[in-house]
Chains A and B, each alone.
Chain A
Amino acid sequence: MNFINNNILTIVIFLPLAGAILLVFFPRRHRDIRYFALAVSLITLLASLHLPWYLVRGQSGFQFERNIPWIAHPNIHYHLGIDGISMWLVILTTFLMPLCVLISWNSIGDRVKEFFILMLVLESAMIGVFVALDLFLFYFFWEATLIPMALIIGMYGHGRKIYASVKFFLYTMIASVFMLAAILWLYARTGSFDFVTIQSMIQGGQVPGFGNAALWLFLGFFVAFAVKVPLFPLHTWLPDAHVEAPTAGSVLLAGVLLKMGTYGLLRFNLGLFPDQARRNAPWIIALAIIGIIYGALVAMVQPNIKRLVAYTSVSHLGFVVLGIFSFTQLGMDGAVYQMLSHGISTGALFMLLGMVYDRRHTYDINEYGGLATPMPVYATFFAFIMLSSVGLPLLNGFIGEFLVLSGAFQARQLYGILAATGVIWSACYLLWMYQRVFYGAVSNPANNSLRDLDARERVSLWPLAIAALVMGVAPMLWLHSIDPAVAATLRQFSSAVQAHAAHAPGSLVRADFTRNGMQALLQVIGR
């Protein structure tokens, strides 16, 4: 058991990669390739379930750690470890992956082998991002997600796929270069890439010249993550990438890749530069709120369903950023929860859109109307998932948004009021879209004879629908392990800020919300 605990993260990271390498030598028989990819992703999912099973909840710090030297010069370690936050993001990744394989079963008919190789490589890289504790290793995996995703969009997308792929690549690449510069600066001054070491050195004031550079370092990391999230003025790559990507690409993009950005903000921007995070919070929150409202308003007027759903991501991820930078227990719990629940609902929405695209090859809302008549099962699934995305109580979206808004109100009432309008907007655009697509008589004769979902499609939707429901009624299953991890992050944060505040009296520290927040949380959950 010890052996497994020590190596489980390595196993989970490299299982998909090993599968991809085996796939290279596979004969080009499409059916076998699909089954093999499905098997690999399912085995990875099973392996990853070891993590929540054996995670010790109350324990502070990282678990399942593995720390071995990788390269001597520079001092790079293969340092992995998870806490309650990153663990669920890993599970989200491994959970979505088999569904992505299923959803691509028939829609990818050309260059099948390459497609599944890219998907599995992407899975490895995404998991690596969430578990790496060495800044270098983190950057390594971060960049490694870029190529497979860009190729998936560019090779299997539709329409202006090249434009979308290159735009996605360049945005992310250019932004993450600034993060690399910041990482290198930290290495030059600390002699280490280790997250934990650097964190304690910064807090101990042992990094020469840190005071002057802190803002730039913070911004270096921030830009890389903000592009990925995407935060308001940097979001323009997202709609393009989503609309042109194949379904599985969109699911992973919305479900996991965007979370890499918010995860990075939470782990690195808050963890390494707490003081800068506090100073810069007002404008970051302002951008987040602009994103919430702007994303919603733009979504409302989209004639293209997929673009509409893409803009909802801008809006929903704004909530996550708001929650993180509220620096309250409730807000950050909510932010992490919202990451997971957005992965489920938006992933499911993109899968649903992919199914109808397979049948009609268009995302134009005007082409549809009255779909509920020929496709009742589809319409039911869609309604369910849409309501979870809107934030209907008892479904997953509600919990995250509620917690974030509570946190925002605690931090500053104005934030809460402005962000709360986003909930209303999301009901508007999603319900209106639902009405236009599904209700009424069938307006377009091409839609009359659409067949309803087949067994494979239902199988790929059921897990998401169940997850949405369970996450809505029993959030404690997740919050039990998220909450201590967030509390630890927040403790670290407030002690660092307080240490700094000793030099600058009068600065406001919201650590006192930690306890109140926990109580309010328990009331919300009802125990």
Chain B
Amino acid sequence: MIPAVDYIRILPELVLSIFGIIVMMVDPVLPEQGSKKPLGIVALVGTLAALAATAYQTGFYGEAFYHMVRVDTFSVFFHVVVLMIALVVILASYDYLDVQSIRAGGEYYALILFGTVGMMLMSSAIELVLIFIALEISSISTYILAGMRRRAAESAEASLKYFLLGSFATAFFLYGVAMIYGATGTTNIYNIANYLHTQQSTLAYLAVGLMFVGLGFKVASAPFHVWTPDVYEGSPAPVVALMSTGPKAAAFAVLLRVLFATGAPGWFWMVWVSAVLSMTLGNIGALVQQNVKRLLAYSSIAHAGYLLVAFAAGRQVGISAAMFYAASYAAMNVGAFAVVSHFASAGEKYVTLDDYAGLGRRSPVLAAILTIFLLSLIGIPVTGGFFAKFYVFSAALQSNLVWLTIIGVINSAIAAYYYLRIIVYMYMRDERSEAPVARIPVGLGIGLAISLVATIYLGVLPGRVLEYAIQGAQDLLK
């Protein structure tokens, strides 16, 4: 008999699944050619309800369903991050779908909700098989979402590419799970930890390597990053906002569990090399991009690299730095892509740097908001990006990773150049007349306000979120 409290421990997932089903049931009732905005409202309410459920969960820390799920500060932290991402993405999609004449609003919103369920489950599952299932739920949703602009060839290309490479990568992860089962005889994270604590196992090295490949693909870290620019370029912009932050944060949560909670061996140099490659390749790739979506894709590879620096630092300070980074990266990147999705206009026509010329004059508010997100991505003070980088690099120094810090610091200086290029285009170049003047719709406005407030809040008063992350790190290692 399963106790009732177990259901509370998966309440946010339950709530969101139910709302996803409601979206799909309401969809056929709506006129086929009409606007799908009511569905957006349902999805929005669902996300808010799930947030409330997550808040309710904080009184019920513990494991559920025969040690399949564990609710602690760590999982709640990532629940909130993922739900906030979904919230902003839904708000940004509210008018976007009409502008792009995407009629499949039912599938769109439902898949966002189901994908979010997967991501949330990834952060609370402590059973590798359940983690795998959650990973698949979130991945499959995003594969389909990537192809939502059905009439655009590049969108279909993005979807197919993401799907093929993605399923290849998840196979690696599954193979790793099998290996670790072979090595330890269990798939429960904490049982694995107990086993590896007392015994050596060569097979475990292989397993960690394979799982790292699978998760490395999901977080778009080099050398598993090649899909990113194409997929980000082709997918609808709000979906990219989701893809570049949500599954990434969730996959990082899994990686934290797999590497640190299990006390797995042999990951250090793997992470080190991947961090250096991601930062360097990401930043250098971004330097030459003309398409803003591609540029941000390369930037997201680089940011995965910074996050991996925190992984390499390890220990509680590294884990909390990684969690903080994931949260503040989510805030600023979702915001940046939300602005991009609005500027892109019908058919996502205006996504090159030239289209951004003179935006500072044409639409001063949006340009200013995008500037703040870009400054945060550079890591300028008063924004969350600054503290994120700051915590990561100070964690690395505390673990004596001087070279990794130097490489990271040099990389973040390089990165300043291409973010700055967007700002330069917006404010210092003459405008092109044919790109339309952008008025901010209400939904997008609220979404941007949320990410803006989050970005600034993390940049001025990071204390509370960091304390929460430290608490999460302690819970993870317990």
Contacts and interface: CB of A to CB of B under 8 A. Distances in A.
Contacts of A141: 381
Interface in B399-430: 405-406, 409-410, 412-413, 416-417, 420-421, 423-424, 427-429
Interface residues of A, number: 33
A439 interface: no
A144 B380 contact: yes
A22 to B, nearest CB: 16
Nearest to B381: A140
Given A154-B428, A162-B428, A71 B380 contact: no
B394 A173 contact: no
Interface string B123-141: 0000000000000000000
24 contacts: A71-B461, A71-B462, A71-B466, A72-B467, A73-B470, A74-B394, A111-B361, A114-B364, A139-B381, A140-B381, A140-B382, A143-B381, A144-B381, A147-B380, A151-B427, A162-B424, A165-B424, A166-B417, A166-B420, A173-B378, A173-B413, A177-B412, A180-B393, A180-B409
A177 B375 contact: no
Contacts of B353: none
A187 B412 contact: no
Contacts of A144: 380-382
Contacts of A140: 381-382
Interface in A32-51: none
Contacts of A165: 424, 428
A177 B410 contact: yes
Contacts of B378: 173
Contact of A187 (B394, B410, B417): B394
B360 interface: yes
A388 B390 CA distance: 44
Contact of B393 (A72, A150, A174, A184): A184
A71 B460 CA distance: 9
Contacts of B412: 177
Contacts of B429: 162
Nearest to A175: B413
Q: Is the interface of B mostly helix, strand, loop or mixed?
A: helix
Contacts of A169: 416, 420
B397 interface: yes
Contacts of B470: 73
Interface of B: 360-361, 364, 375, 378, 380-382, 386, 390-391, 393-394, 397-398, 405-406, 409-410, 412-413, 416-417, 420-421, 423-424, 427-429, 461-463, 466-467, 470
A226 B396 CA distance: 27
A187 B398 CA distance: 9
Please name the 10 residue pairs, one residue from A and one from B, whose CB atoms are nearest each other, closest first: A154-B428, A140-B381, A174-B413, A188-B397, A71-B463, A177-B413, A184-B394, A143-B381, A162-B428, A188-B398
Contacts of B466: 71, 73
A146 B380 contact: yes
Contacts of A174: 413, 416
B417 A185 contact: no
Interface string A138-179: 011101101100110011000001100110011001100110
A459 interface: no
A141 B427 CA distance: 23
Q: Is the interface of A mostly helix, strand, loop or mixed?
A: helix
Contact of A181 (B409, B416, B417): B409
Interface of A: 71-74, 111, 114, 139-141, 143-144, 146-147, 150-151, 154-155, 161-162, 165-166, 169-170, 173-174, 177-178, 180-181, 184-185, 187-188
B397 A185 contact: yes
B72 to A, nearest CB: 19
A174 to B, nearest CB: 4
A51 B115 CA distance: 59
Contacts of B409: 177-178, 180-181
Contact of A170 (B382, B393, B417): B417
A173 B416 contact: yes
Contacts of B397: 184-185, 187-188
A170 B364 CA distance: 24
Contacts of B467: 72-73
A141 B386 CA distance: 13
Contacts of A155: 360, 427-428
B394 A154 contact: no
A239 B222 CA distance: 40
Contacts of B405: 181, 184
In this complex, the member of B360, B381, B394, B421 whose beta carbon has the largest number of chain A beta carbons within 10 angstroms is B381
Nearest to B412: A177
Contacts of A187: 394, 397
In this complex, the member of B380, B382, B424 whose beta carbon has the largest number of chain A beta carbons within 10 angstroms is B424
A156 to B, nearest CB: 10
B335 to A, nearest CB: 17
Contacts of B393: 180-181, 184
In this complex, the member of B397, B429, B466 whose beta carbon has the largest number of chain A beta carbons within 10 angstroms is B397
A188 B399 CA distance: 9
A150 B413 CA distance: 16
B364 A154 contact: no
A151 B429 CA distance: 12
Given A111-B361, A169-B420, A173-B413, 16 more contacts: A72-B467, A74-B390, A74-B394, A111-B360, A114-B360, A140-B381, A143-B381, A162-B428, A165-B428, A166-B417, A166-B421, A174-B416, A177-B412, A180-B393, A184-B405, A188-B398
A21 to B, nearest CB: 12
A108 B421 CA distance: 24
B416 A170 contact: yes
B324 to A, nearest CB: 10
Contacts of B390: 74, 180, 184
Nearest to B466: A73
A138 to B, nearest CB: 11
B381 A166 contact: no
A457 B162 CA distance: 63
In this complex, the member of B386, B390, B412 whose beta carbon has the largest number of chain A beta carbons within 10 angstroms is B390
B406 A181 contact: yes
A73 B391 CA distance: 9
Contacts of B361: 111
A150 B398 CA distance: 33
Contacts of B360: 111, 114, 155
B186 to A, nearest CB: 35
Nearest to B425: A162
Contact of B427 (A73, A143, A154): A154
Contacts of A147: 375, 380
Contacts of A181: 393, 405-406, 409
Contacts of B406: 181
Nearest to B400: A188
Nearest to A154: B428
Contacts of A111: 360-361
A249 B421 CA distance: 21
Nearest to A173: B416
